[in-house]
Amino acid sequence: MTDELPALPFEPWKDTYATLHMWSQIVGHVRLALAPMTNHWWQVPLYVTSRGLGTSPIPSGRGTFEIDFDFVDHNLHVRTSDGATKSLPLVPRSVADFHAELMRVLAALGIAVTIHPKPDEVPNPIPFAEDRTHASYDADHANRFWRILVFADVVLKEFRGRFAGKCSPVHFFWGSFDLAVTRFSGRRAPARPGADAVTREAYSHEVISAGFWPGSADVAAAFYSYTAPQPPGLEREPIRPAAAAWHTGLSEFLLPYDAVRTAAAPRAALLDFLQSTYEAGAKLAGWDRAALDWHAAG
Looking at residue 2, its pLDDT comes to: 54
DSSP-derived pairing of the beta strands 52-54 and 205-213: unpaired
What are residue 201's phi and psi, to 5 degrees?
Answer: -75, -40
Which residues of the chain form beta strands (DSSP E)? 47-48, 52-54, 58-60, 63-70, 75-80, 85-89, 171-173, 178-188, 205-213, 222-228, 245-247, 252-256
What is the distance of C-alpha 281 from the center of its chain?
A: 21
DSSP secondary structure code for residue 170 in this structure: -
Q: How confident is residue 182, by pLDDT bands cut at 50, 70 and 90? A: very high
What are residue 147's phi and psi, to 5 degrees?
Answer: -60, -35
Looking at residue 192, its pLDDT comes to: 86
Q: Mean pLDDT, to the nearest integer, of 243-272? A: 98
Q: How far apart are CA 96 and CA 88, in angstroms?
A: 14
Report cis status (omega within 30 of 0) of the bond before 92.
no
Instruction: Give every strand in the sheet of 252-256, ordered side by side.
Output: 171-173, 178-188, 205-213, 222-228, 252-256, 245-247
Tell me how far CA of residue 172 lies from CA of 40, 101, 194, 263, in angstroms.
Answer: 13, 23, 26, 25
Q: pLDDT of 132-155, one tens digit each?
A: 999 999 999 999 999 999 999 999
Q: How far apart are CA 161 and CA 63, in angstroms?
A: 32
Q: pLDDT of 99-111, one tens digit each?
A: 999 999 999 999 9
- 245: Cα within 13 Å, side-chain hemisphere: 7
Strand-pairing partners, residue 167, are 183
Residue 294 pLDDT > 90, yes or no? Answer: no
Q: How far apart are CA 116 and CA 30, in angstroms?
A: 9
